[in-house]
Structure 1
Amino acid sequence: MNLTEVHQEESCVHSNFSCLRTSLTAADVLLYVSVAVVVTLTVCGNLLVIISICHFKQLQTPTNLLLLSLAMADFLVGVTVMPLYFTMVIYPQRCFDTLYCTIFYLTALCLTFVSIYNVALIAVDRFFTICNPFQYSMKMTLNVTLRIICIVWLSSLIYNMMVLYFSGTISDLKENITCVECALQLNEILAIIDCLIIFILPCLTIIIMYLKIFSIVKTQANKIRCVQKCTNNATVTSERKAGKALGVLVAVFLLCLIPTYICAFLAAYIGNTSVRIAASNLSTLVFLNSAINPIIYALFYPWFQRCVKIILTYRIFREGSSDLNVLATK
């Protein structure tokens, strides 16, 4: 063993960010650029959503507060989870410690929990908006929505701390481990509980709510036509576009979530290596969804497009910019 190898081995023992490859190939460069683009898109895109809803008073509605909570979770995924996750994917032989793994899994699980339940709450919000708009407007205030969001974030932290504690996987790891050893393994009971709470319950809620929304819209088609004759067509069109955008947001989320959790659940029971690898690879979809959401906002939300223009042209720093009408239709 030469001096270079000795130095690399010692740095692997004493540093959490060691065991790096010294030479880069064209594939490595392409991979790094792709990761950088995804992380940048996730962080910047969701930051624009956060700034828009927080700054413009017209956007501060109960539904948009749920979008704000979702964007905040996606933003934190881009800032914390994605860099750690892609580091573990690119360098599976790196040496880490228990604290690194604990922080990664606690952050990733908490933000995934928050994202899933935010999307479920958005579905419930849309259902009550269509089913009983008058009662909804009276009971679903900004303060009530903020309390619900706080409960979701707090519940996420408590639940996932309990999962990590009772799994025992993280606490049993050694100080210097590879990324392959830094893996969360749930027993059969925890796997069932986690699948019910994180996957089945919110997904069923989302699907049932949107099926009911579709049924209500279909059965009340004649009433909607009557309302269109008596009210402003632009308002009705705006509501339809908002519902369509939320529907696309939820559909893309389910497409990213369902395959991941099905494979993860099968991996906990079958224990097959190929299934575990597939579950690990598909987990990337859940994180990539955080980068896809801002693209959906940009494509389907005219108010987001207007807000981005105002922010990027520095008009946001002008006096009274928070009172601008970003919902105006041309």
Structure 2
Amino acid sequence: MNSMNMFSDLAELNYSFNVSDGDSFLDHWNDIPTTQTLSRAGFIVLSVILGFIMIFGFLNNFVVLILFCKFKTLRTPVNILLLNISVSDMLVCLCGTTLSFASSIRGRWFLGKRGCSWYGFINSCFGIVSLISLVVLSYDRYSTLTVYHKRGPNYRRPLLAVGGIWLYSLFWTVPPLLGWSSYGLEGAGTSCSVSWTLRTTASHSYIICLFIFCLGLPVLIMVYCYSRLLHAVKQVGKIRKNAARKREYHVLFLVLTTVVCYMLCWMPYGVVAMMATFGRPGIITPIASVVPSLLAKSSTVINPLIYILMNKQFKRCFLILIGCKRTQMENGLSSMPSKTTAIHLNRRMYSKTAPQLSIPQVSSSLPIHGFSTPITDRSNPPNVTS
């Protein structure tokens, strides 16, 4: 009886793809009970949400790119990682969300098997690029604070990191195109991703590796780096309580915001995907899988908001860009000061209190998301300013 119901459900999938691509297209869409798919009103709501994500995701990341082009002070080595995230997020909006939006309006996937494979590949590739960039960024901020580098700004390392991130993403997203698992319809049948419900050994092995190396391990690295970052800031706060106490709470707020947004956007999608893969057939309905998918797509909107609203450099440049801030500061500097105000940490005092760390200084701008770069001259440290 269960087999008959499964074949009946498969037969009802004809509305969501072009049969002209071949009957083999059916092989990758099993266990999707389309009798529980969205109603017409549900597709309208889904279209509205996807349209919002598509428009604002593109505009927000486009603003970040404009700020990079217009303000030279933002073109720091660490901000290259932010630029990489914005580029990948904007490409998701252009090449991925637009197709899902159009499919939701029509109530079905309309580009056939090849279009679905293309959509699944680019969406997965750009999504992993954004995720791994956030992980590399967390490690960079951790190492900037806790490891002293005497050298000046070096663009070689972040450029190599960006290249490595794209190669890493391709390493994990190309195999389904070559036969190790596959890309197929997901959710309400208007978007495509890895074929989570494909019951084969190859598919299961790929999904396990994907979950470990593209979600589980990155989350652990982010949590470790940011927890060490908070620990280092607390050590500084013990020495310079008046100057560093507010900074400590600000770092805590930023770290929690970044990690929570990361977890909210991607962990539900990962959990639902694993349940669909290893749970009983039909345990995840199309309606239940739509929300995690939308949360994952919403990261393209949230990421640039974090950069602009919580990054002093970006926020100041953005206010100048929209005309809410005069281009000439009252202190006589240009639109963006070339040097950030810094809190000097006395090396002797700190070595007595916390000898296990090597922190040359803590910037008044947060050492996260490209807020500042470490001071490279110990012989002439800046004065403490209010």
Q: State the partner residue of 1:151.
A: 164
Matches within 5 A, 1:71-82: 71-82=86-97
Q: Aligned-pair distance for 1:157? A: 2.0
Mean CA deviation greater in 47-56 or 25-34: 25-34
Q: Aligned-pair distance for 1:32? A: 4.5
**Is 1:249 equivalent to 2:258 in the alignment?**
yes
Q: Between the two proteins, what is the percent identity of the paired residues?
A: 23
Q: Letter of the aligned partner of 1:269 in structure 2?
A: F
Q: State the partner residue of 2:70.
A: 55
Q: Deviations over 1:57-113 (max 9, x none)?
A: 211223221111111111112212111223344444343322211210111010111
Q: Aligned-pair distance for 1:138? A: 2.7
**Is 1:270 equivalent to 2:279 in the alignment?**
yes
**Is 1:106 equivalent to 2:121 in the alignment?**
yes
Matches within 5 A, 1:87-102: 87-102=102-117
**CA, structure 1 residues 83+221, in 2 after alignment: closer, same or farther (shift >3 Å)?**
same
Q: Aligned-pair distance for 1:257? A: 1.1
Q: Secondary structure at the match of 1:324?
A: coil
Match for 1:305 among 289, 305, 315?
315
Matches within 5 A, 1:1-80: 32-80=47-95
Q: For the residues of structure 1 that align with 2:316 and 2:191, how far apart are their CA atoms?
A: 47
**Is 1:324 equivalent to 2:310 in the alignment?**
no
**CA, structure 1 residues 245+56, in 2 after alignment: closer, same or farther (shift >3 Å)?**
farther
Q: State the partner residue of 1:259.
A: 268
How many residues are paired up? Answer: 292
Higher helix content, 1 or 2:
1
Q: Aligned-pair distance for 1:29? A: 6.4
Q: Aligned-pair distance for 1:290? A: 0.8
**CA, structure 1 residues 254+156, in 2 after alignment: closer, same or farther (shift >3 Å)?**
same
Q: For the residues of structure 2 that align with 1:302 and 1:265, how far apart are their CA atoms?
A: 39
- Using the size of structure 1 for normalisation, the TM-score is 0.74
> Which protein shows a greater Rg?
2
Match for 1:195 among 211, 225, 231?
211
Q: For the residues of structure 1 that align with 2:126 and 2:70, how far apart are their CA atoms?
A: 24
Q: For the residues of structure 1 that align with 2:289 and 2:61, how far apart are their CA atoms?
A: 26
Q: Letter of the aligned partner of 1:156 in structure 2?
A: S
Q: For the residues of structure 2 that align with 1:54 and 1:189, how far apart are their CA atoms?
A: 43
**Is 1:208 equivalent to 2:219 in the alignment?**
no
Q: State the partner residue of 1:319.
A: none
Q: For the residues of structure 1 that align with 2:234 and 2:250, how far apart are their CA atoms?
A: 17
Q: State the partner residue of 1:289.
A: 299
Matches within 5 A, 1:169-188: 169-170=182-183, 179=189, 184-186=194-196, 187-188=203-204
Q: Deviations over 1:270-324 (max 9, x none)?
A: 1442425334431211111111222223432333233234334599xxxxxxx73
Q: Letter of the aligned partner of 1:324 in structure 2?
A: S
Residue pair 1:303, 1:326 contacting (<8 A) in 2 also: no
**CA, structure 1 residues 87+246, in 2 after alignment: closer, same or farther (shift >3 Å)?**
farther
Q: Letter of the aligned partner of 2:142 in structure 1?
A: F
Q: For the residues of structure 2 that align with 1:280 and 1:31, how far apart are their CA atoms?
A: 9
Q: Aligned-pair distance for 1:244? A: 4.5
Q: State the partner residue of 1:217.
A: 233
Q: Aligned-pair distance for 1:128? A: 0.7
Residue pair 2:145, 2:229 contacting (<8 A) in 1 also: yes
Q: Aligned-pair distance for 1:33? A: 4.6
Q: State the partner residue of 1:115.
A: 130
- Using the size of structure 2 for normalisation, the TM-score is 0.64
Q: State the partner residue of 1:160.
A: 173
Residue pair 2:103, 2:110 contacting (<8 A) in 1 also: no
